[in-house]
Amino acid sequence: MDTTGYLQRYSDWDRMNHWALVILFFCTALSGLAMFHPSLFFLATLFGGGPWTRILHPFGGVLVFVSFGGMYLRWARHNTWDADDRAWLDQAGAMLAGRAHQMPPVGRYNAGQKILFWWMTVSLLVLLVTGLLFWRPYFAGYLPIGLVRLATLAHSLTAVALVIGIVVHIYAAIWVKGTTRAMTRGLVSESWAKHHHSRWYAQMTQQKR
Amino acid sequence: MSSLQSLDIAARSATTNPSPSVRRDPEVAKLIDVTSCIGCKACQVACMQWNDLRDEIGDNDGTYDNPRDLTPASWTVMRFSEVELEPNRLEWLIRKDGCMHCEDPGCLKACPAPGAIVKYSNGIVDFISENCIGCGSCVTGCPFDIPRISKKDNKAYKCSLCADRVTVGLEPACVKACPTGAIRFGTKDDMKEFAAVRVVDLKERGYQQAGLYDPAGVGGTHVMYVLQHADQPQLYHGLPANPRISPLVALWKGVLKPLGVLAMIGAVAGSFFHYMKVGPLESGED
């Protein structure tokens, strides 16, 4: 296709990795939610009933962690915090009110995206460790009951936090028009880049010349 | 393991609307008088026989406890404790361990599978195995360390207080087999009355701290003990002095479960209305 007026934001591998994670995350999150609240137990049907839901959920969780690991290794360096992020965050209210033009210049990711990245990183780490601690029949039986109880509580709490983070992530992609193309085709328009990531735009166009 | 057709269900795991409960039965209780137990294990044998369970033959660990612990196929075990409260006066405390059938059952509170654990209106707490998903949350929720998950089928098992026998007007198998009358069964009120007489008797015989174990922290239990040292229940193989559902489990199921769902729905609803209020963020050609 003609890519004039577009910039490459994500490589093929970035995107395959991201969408594999999406599928794994949905399977794991829905099976987890089935066991979280009775009103959501019907979701267990999607996985072949209660026992299968219980069996599959932790394996899905491990795959989510591994899959996110690939993205972490490639993107962590773009998500380090710098002084400009502070300024962006101070203006976050204006962003939410739809006045994006008031925002300070942004590099590859804005402060909100960076916070979400670390939110997901920390959540998944906590979910992995706590999940292992009460994984039956493999581990829970060998650990003190107090630890199993604490792990169960922390796992549920973190899962809620992660789901909320993902809702924000999905909504942001829908809200900011032109964003989803970055993950479906790997491309964003130059106009999108100029509006939302002007420092990254400058960097990319300099490289091009 | 019992029937699902009962009309006297007081509570059902992972269920937010009322269970079939038009029929009310009087509250029952099993009273275990530790002071008249001789440790013969007839109750264990009767339990195996009625429930048709045969545990693996284990090994001896230097105590009389046989098997060493509760298992998916051993729903009750005699726990032998040798204590010397006064020098040179050995006391052999023998406690029949098993499900206490709490009025506020931690297993039922923790269970995520609808109808896998029920509490009947007579107070019996039973596992309905066909609904069990094998997650082990009942173990996490139990303040008495009772449920055991089978390695064979990943289902949880424990004493049913012979719910099947009680339903048709029989006493539990262990009660029937006890040769000294140390295990009794009846309405909870009757059992408390009987226990009170036993406690007076024990006090007259010098056990000033004798008393009934019916812990209030779990709303009382439908298996109660008469203890000669009711002030120190932990002497009886670690029977907890103040059992209650762990605050971690209460936070998980009592607070996080409803508020977590609300927060997640809130995030979705908030996003939707934000879009409708603020509208999409456009950037020219897109």
Number of domains in chain A: 1
Positions of A annotated as catalytic residues are 169
CA distance A151 to A16: 32
CB B252 within 8 A of CB A151: no
- CB-CB under 8 Å, B133 with A50: yes
Structural domain includes residue A126: yes
CA-closest candidate to residue B189, choices B34, B28, B33: B28
pLDDT (0 to 100) of residue B1? 46
Name which of A9, A33, A35 to mutate to probe chain B: the one with the most chain B Cβ atoms within 10 A of its Cβ.
Answer: A35
CA distance A159 to A123: 7
What is the least distance, in Å, from the CA of A2 to any CA of chain B?
16
Contacts of A45 in chain B (CB under 8 A): none
Determine the structural domain holding residue A168 and report its residue range: 7-208
Give the dihedral sign, CA A178/A180/A185/A187: positive
Helices within chain B (DSSP H only): 42-51, 106-110, 137-141, 163-167, 173-177, 188-204, 247-250, 257-278
CA distance A147 to B257: 19
A5 interface with B at CB cutoff 8 Å = yes
Q: Which residues contact B52 (CB under 8 A, 6 or more apart)?
A: none
What is the least distance, in Å, from the CA of B56 to any CA of chain A?
19
B54 interface with A at CB cutoff 8 Å = no
- CB-CB under 8 Å, A174 with B246: no
Q: Could you give the ipTM of this predicted complex?
A: 0.93
Residue A156: pLDDT above 80?
A: yes
What is the least distance, in Å, from the CA of A57 to any CA of chain B?
11
Q: Which residues on neighbouring strands pair with residue B157, listed in sequence order? A: B148
B186-199: pLDDT as tens digits: 999 999 999 999 99
Q: Which chain A residue is nearest to residue B275, measuring alpha carbons?
A: A175
CA-closest candidate to residue A54, choices B133, B191, B40, B5: B133
Residue A187: pLDDT above 50?
A: yes
pLDDT (0 to 100) of residue B207? 96
A207 interface with B at CB cutoff 8 Å = no
A70-128: pLDDT as tens digits: 999 999 999 999 988 999 999 999 999 999 889 999 999 999 999 999 999 999 999 99
Structure tokens at B200: 């007076």
CATH of the domain at A117: 1.20.950.20
Structural domain includes residue A1: no
Residue B229: pLDDT above 90?
A: yes
| pTM recorded for the entire structure | 0.93
136-165 of B, contacting A, C-beta below 8 A: 136-137, 139-140, 145, 149, 151, 154
Cβ-in-10-Å burial (0-12, 13-18, 19+) of B52 comes to exposed
CA-closest candidate to residue B116, choices B14, B218, B20, B222: B14
- CB-CB under 8 Å, A140 with B136: yes
